[in-house]
């Protein structure tokens, strides 16, 4: 399905902030983490780990036990406090942290891969992720090359040593050297920030090393079958939120571990930083892919409460993005040619302005450019300027 179909025909009916359906009164992704561990599908335990990120109050870590121990899915942020919460949640159901033999990471955001490296270092746990999994700390990723090139001479290292790389990155000396990440729409995205580095310096060495070395030991491809928790799971590559996003589907009991691909009450962020030239197209195609899975009865998201009606939720998310594309047409009629930052300031409320809003705006603008509804050119400062084609 192409979301750009008939955008011009419907643009006049959309107003800023309007939607086809009213949102539920409670965004379950925002709820604070509860300590109780519950079985949310046959053989699957849900543990809520506390996080404090915009719009999110917890991350769901799922545990799948077998005769050898336990596999965990998305073990939360890398900080010591959250890892301690994971230890306590497992202990409350009689599972020592030492029994974790496998970590599945749905995608390359820190609230999902953060604890993976530590479990690999502590337990020798295998780390399973999609073939394309990369983080900003990976020197072999094109988007990380500038960061690594700035740091490598300082540590005088001929090869990639995550521990030494991380040690320098978190040092006071590193702050002036960190160039940030190049934004494809122009400018740079600051990461890590000074505040983040200062906070990470307080971590113990095992936490630091684990955060800087989340590289998978086992990379899986779309449709590959892996055994976890006495069940056979099918890997489902679902790019859009990130290029490496992975869902897992267990057909016998109809369980979908949906990560951040499908959330119950909020629409996942669409990344303009992925390698794809049209992340929104990829995302919609991946939504239709999971909606077409036969027999899904339990949808287990990475944030928010589990739910059942996958098809209805997919339709709601697709409708949301169609409306955002319509709104961009209206905005372009008001402001004319503009850069991504200006478009994002009209598309998002002020409290959401920043790199994430710009990234998603860029993804939508690029979708419309590929559809022939907009054109773009760079100005003398390297910023992309978008102009919409007349109806």
Domain harbouring 89, CATH code: 3.60.15.10
pLDDT of residue 214: 87
Per the CB < 8 A criterion, the answer to whether 116 and 214 are in contact is yes
Widest CA span in the chain: 64
Q: At what angle do helices 279-291 and 310-335 cross, to 10 degrees?
A: 160
Which residue's entry shows tokens 């320098």?
168
Q: Between the CA of residue 142 and those of 104, 148, 193, what are the distances in Å? A: 24, 10, 20
- Residue 149 structural domain: 28-312
Per the CB < 8 A criterion, the answer to whether 103 and 95 are in contact is no
Domain-located, residue 22: no
Which among 40, 71, 41, 74 is positioned nearest to 252, based on CA atoms? Answer: 41
* β-pairing verdict for 100-104 and 69-73: parallel
Helix (H, G, I), strand (E, B) or coil at 250: strand
Overall domain count for the chain: 1
Which among 381, 149, 143 is positioned nearest to 276, based on CA atoms? Answer: 143
Can you read off the two tokens belonging to residue 347? 């598309």
| Half-sphere exposure of residue 385: CA atoms within 13 angstroms, side-chain side | 10
Degrees to nearest 5, angle at CA 29 with 25 and 33: 115
pLDDT of residue 155: 53
For 35-41, which contacts have Cβ atoms below 8 Å and span 24 or more sequence positions?
35/88, 35/89, 35/92, 37/63, 37/89, 37/90, 37/92, 37/93, 40/298, 40/300, 40/306, 41/253, 41/255, 41/298, 41/300, 41/306
Q: Between the CA of residue 174 and those of 154, 180, 198, 267, 332, what are the distances in Å? A: 9, 12, 11, 36, 41
Domain-located, residue 50: yes
pLDDT of residue 135: 82
Rounded-to-10 torsion of CA 354, 359, 362, 364 = -110
Return d(Cα 286, Cα 258) in angstroms, integer: 11
Q: How many separate helices (H) and strands (E) can be counted in the chain?
A: 12, 17
pLDDT of residue 89: 98
Can you read off the two tokens belonging to residue 248? 């897992």
Which residue's entry shows tokens 């794809």?
276
- How far apart, in Å, do the first and last CA atoms of the chain sit? 21
Helix (H, G, I), strand (E, B) or coil at 66: strand
| Half-sphere exposure of residue 219: CA atoms within 13 angstroms, side-chain side | 10
Domain-located, residue 100: yes
- Per-block mean pLDDT, blocks of 10 residues, the chain (391 long): 39 31 68 97 98 92 97 96 97 98 96 96 97 74 50 54 59 55 82 74 87 90 98 98 97 98 97 92 98 98 98 98 98 97 97 93 98 97 94 62
Backbone CA torsion sign across 300, 301, 303, 306: negative
Return d(Cα 74, Cα 116) in angstroms, integer: 8
Domain-located, residue 164: yes
Return d(Cα 39, Cα 148) in angstroms, integer: 42
């Amino acid at each position: 399905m192409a979301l750009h179909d008939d955008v011009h025909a419907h643009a006049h009916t959309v107003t800023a902030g309007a939607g086809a359906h009213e949102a539920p009164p409670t965004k379950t992704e925002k709820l604070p983490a509860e300590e109780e561990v519950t079985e949310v599908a046959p053989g699957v335990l849900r543990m809520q780990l506390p996080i404090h990120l915009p719009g999110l109050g917890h991350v769901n870590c799922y545990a799948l036990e077998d005769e050898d121990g336990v596999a965990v899915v998305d073990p939360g942020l890398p900080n010591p406090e959250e890892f301690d919460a994971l230890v306590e949640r497992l202990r409350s159901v009689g599972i020592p942290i030492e029994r974790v033999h496998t970590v599945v990471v749905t995608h390359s955001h820190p609230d999902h891969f953060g604890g993976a490296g530590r479990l690999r270092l502590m337990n020798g746990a295998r780390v399973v992720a999609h073939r394309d999994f990369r983080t900003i700390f990976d020197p072999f990723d094109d988007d990380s090359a500038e960061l690594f090139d700035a740091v490598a001479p300082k540590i005088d290292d001929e090869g990639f040593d995550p521990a030494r790389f991380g040690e320098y990155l978190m040092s006071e000396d590193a702050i002036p050297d960190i160039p940030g990440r190049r934004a494809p729409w122009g400018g740079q995205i600051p990461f890590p920030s000074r505040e983040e580095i200062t906070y990470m310096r307080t971590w113990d060495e095992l936490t630091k090393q684990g955060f800087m070395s989340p590289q998978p030991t086992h990379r899986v491809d779309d449709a590959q079958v892996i055994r976890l928790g006495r069940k056979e799971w099918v890997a489902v590559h679902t790019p859009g939120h990130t290029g490496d996003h992975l869902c897992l589907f267990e057909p016998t009991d109809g369980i979908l571990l949906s990560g951040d691909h499908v959330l119950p009450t909020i629409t996942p962020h669409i990344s303009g930083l992925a390698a794809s030239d049209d992340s929104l197209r990829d995302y919609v195609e991946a939504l239709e892919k999971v909606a077409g899975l036969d027999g899904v009865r339990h949808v287990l998201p990475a944030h928010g409460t589990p739910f059942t009606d996958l098809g209805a939720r997919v339709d709601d998310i697709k409708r949301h993005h169609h409306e955002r594309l319509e709104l961009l047409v209206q905005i372009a009629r008001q402001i004319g040619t503009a850069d991504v930052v200006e478009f994002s300031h009209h598309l998002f409320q002020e409290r959401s302005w920043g790199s994430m809003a710009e990234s998603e705006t860029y993804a939508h603008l690029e979708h419309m450019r590929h559809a022939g509804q907009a054109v773009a050119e760079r100005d003398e400062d390297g910023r992309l300027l978008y102009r919409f084609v007349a109806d």
